Amino acid sequence: MKAIILAAGRGSRMGSLTENLPKCRSILHGKTLIDWQMDALQKAGITDIAIVRGYLADSFHFDLPYFENRRWAETNMVASLACAEDWLKTETCIVGYSDIVYLPDTVSRLMNCDGNIAITYDPNWSALWNLRFSNPLSDAETFRLDGDRVVEIGNRAALIEEIEGQYMGLLKFTPPGWKQVANHLTTLDQSTHDAMSMTKLLSELIASGIAVTAVASPEPWYEVDSEKDLRLYNRMKMWNPTSLTGKFDVESI
């Protein structure tokens, strides 16, 4: 199994922190976000890792394969994902956003799940979102399940009850799963394809009858969407930085 880290965007909501470095190079508990990700993937047994890069591409100096999204400023996450099609169409791949930090157990659970398209989600999402936002509904989107299948994702939520978990930005695609995605993408015009977010893609796949498997991940994790998030997380004892173990400790801040 291989892994792909989507790191093409700038992350403009990080402010001055991304003027000279990509968002994934932001420091959390003494280590860059992308180093946390690679550690978790490697500890889960994945050694073949590639990066989709775009913004400040020349600043990446890892000894890894790269896929290039040269249109990063004009495109969204799905376009970056499609840049890695050479791997996706031939290998089962774990795909992760470059602004999330997660534990090896989360990766292992996703690797071992059934389903051609699968995503991890946090069933205990509200504790973290209540720290990040005065009103969690201002950011959190709908997430509904039928057993282990996602039936709704990515819409504006009016009620907390519409959110059964938080999509984390960590996915798995088998080659048959990617073929389903690729076939769907061929039905889109260029501007729609360029603008498509991952949750929009997943929502459209579900609407067309394609199964998206949900994998509950109770382990602590971070989504770094802004400079404010980074400051908050650096005050929290979420896990031991050297062992990537521990538990989410809200009262430590």
Retrieve residue 175's tokens.
């080659």
In a domain, 251, yes or no: no
Mean pLDDT in residue range 199-221: 96
Confidence of residue 68 (pLDDT cuts 50, 70, 90): very high
Contacts of residue 155, Cβ cutoff 8 Å, sequence gap at least 6: 141, 142, 203
249 domain-assigned: no
- 117-122 and 166-173 strand pairing: antiparallel
Judge whether 248 lies within some domain: no
Which domain, by its residues, includes 51? 2-236
Q: Is the pLDDT of residue 247 over 60?
A: no
pLDDT band at 237 (very low <50, low <70, confident <90, very high): low
Please, are residues 164 and 143 in contact by the beta-carbon 8 Å criterion?
yes
pLDDT of residue 233: 87
User: What is the per-residue pLDDT for 194?
Assistant: 97
Residue 241 — pLDDT band, cuts 50, 70, 90?
very low
Mean pLDDT rounded to a whole number for the chain:
91
* Number of folded domains that form the chain: 1
pTM: 0.92
Output the pLDDT for position 245.
45
Question: 139, 180 in Cβ contact below 8 A?
Answer: no
Question: Which pLDDT belongs to residue 238?
Answer: 53
Q: Is residue 225 in a domain? A: yes
What string of DSSP letters covers 115-139? Answer: SSEEEEEETTTHHHHHHH-SSGGGT
CATH number for the domain that contains residue 144:
3.90.550.10
What's the chain's length in residues? 253
Q: Give a yes or no: residue 135 inside a domain.
A: yes
* Position 186 in a domain: yes
pLDDT for the residue 191: 97
Is 245 part of a structural domain of the chain? no
Question: Looking at the domain assignment, is residue 129 inside a domain?
Answer: yes
Q: What is the pLDDT of residues 1-29, one digit of tens each?
A: 999 999 999 877 777 777 888 999 988 98
For the stretch 119-171, pLDDT in tens is 999 999 998 899 899 999 999 999 999 999 999 999 999 999 999 999 999 99
Contacts of 13 (CB under 8 A, 6+ apart): 225, 226, 227
